[in-house]
Chain A
Amino acid sequence: MFACIHAPQLPPDLSLAEFAYGFSPIVEEAAGRTVVIDAEGCELLFGSAYQLATDLSRLAKEPTTNGGLESAVNIALAANPDAAIHAATRLKGITFISAGEELTCLGALPVEALEFSLVNVEKKLADEIFETLRLWGIRTFQDFASLPVAGVSERLGQEGVRLQQLAAGKTERHLKVKQPAPVFANSIDLDHALHELEPLSFIFARLLNQLCATLNAYALSTNDLTLQMQLTDQTSYDRTLSLPFPMRDHKVFLKLLLLEMEKHPPQAAVKAVSLTCDPVKPRVVQHGLFVPLAPSPDKLELTLARLAKLVGEQNVGSPVLLDTHRPDAFNLKRFVLDGKHSKREFQNSNSVLGFRMFRPPLRAVVQVDHGLPAQISAWNKQRSVYGKVVNVAGPWRTTGDWWRKDSWARDEWDVAVETGKPGSEQQSVYRIYRELSSGAWFVEGNYD
């Protein structure tokens, strides 16, 4: 049994829905100052359905201090919510419609009174149907309901059939209960400020548990987690975790947050913690059967965060070559497995030549004989290069970026240096270069 409350003269500052929530937790807010409540199970509190309607009508007339609406309301009780809505909006006072008796009460209502939006019919189409019905001489709900269903379907389509069921009071649906908008944020004010990370981790765990439970309830994930903390020195500590893929595992979030906090500890004790996330749809990936395994995204993120903590964020990632001829020009970008398989045919060739770059280049002393390097000597704490140059090729001159302060101009040589005993075959091949501006020699790296 459903009860519809229609308040035609409701003061604008009062909420009909809040009034209805005093009687039932299941309330649908319909258009035009109308609400529908599910009266099923209210018998223990309010007695019979008619008693409930009487109480509703009486309380609505009460002043707001007593929880009333200070206005008269129309109330209709029916077996389906749509019939109750029609009765409450069109009939004054209290209307009780027994199951199967809908047309007895509503049969005389004009066809134009049909709330077509209740059965998802557009206004334009509904107007066309009403015009057709008017031409047919169909004026009331009773007339419309008595038409043969097959004929209505043939002439007016499925929308006509749905409208006919609405007129006959035979629709079946659940109430569209208004849910409060989900909040994907959690915060906590601490009684005592926290200095250390360990007790904070328990706070994070609690907040993340709630946050991930909310995400889980709505089948959502997040790839942006924002941590805001109020510190005792009246400053705010903000960090954002940007993940390459949406996740909702609170354990992973907790570890990532702790690693982030270890890398960037707050300057003062924490007195309030707030966590916010942007909900997004979870990632759905169909892997190929024969594609090799890859690290799972959550484990990879954790590993990258730990590696960044170990060796520094600037030392972990994927290399990206820059669009320049400058030697050793590259960037490191964040390592992200995008799941794309850009498989190209691997060409087994002998042209693969390994090169080991010395960073920074090794300052060298080079003896030149007839314009060619003859002896080389270079060392630092890590490595040393010295010996007789037994083979040489070059030079190759490269210049670039002459319009910038960090322009380069140099002559490059490939030299084979005798590294073993004199006369032995043991050689190492290095790339050396001479800066044209300063005339200084450097060892850039070795071929290996």
Chain B
Amino acid sequence: MAKNGYTIFNYVMEKGSVRLNGMVLDEKKNSLFTVDVDSEHMIVAPKEKISFDAFLRFFATILTDFDPTAAVEEVQ
């Protein structure tokens, strides 16, 4: 993540399970958001007003580095 300009901080990562919850700073887009990850989903939520392409950039990083089959769904 760091090589793509993302830093995860003040996070909780459970040992032995795919689970993470924390804050993300996107240095390239200068935006701040939170993530919550389990084995099925990654929920991304902005901490403030951020541009849509900041989301797209993050999604592209997930596709490239973690899961090429990942899809986007809006949480209602």
* Pair from one complex: no
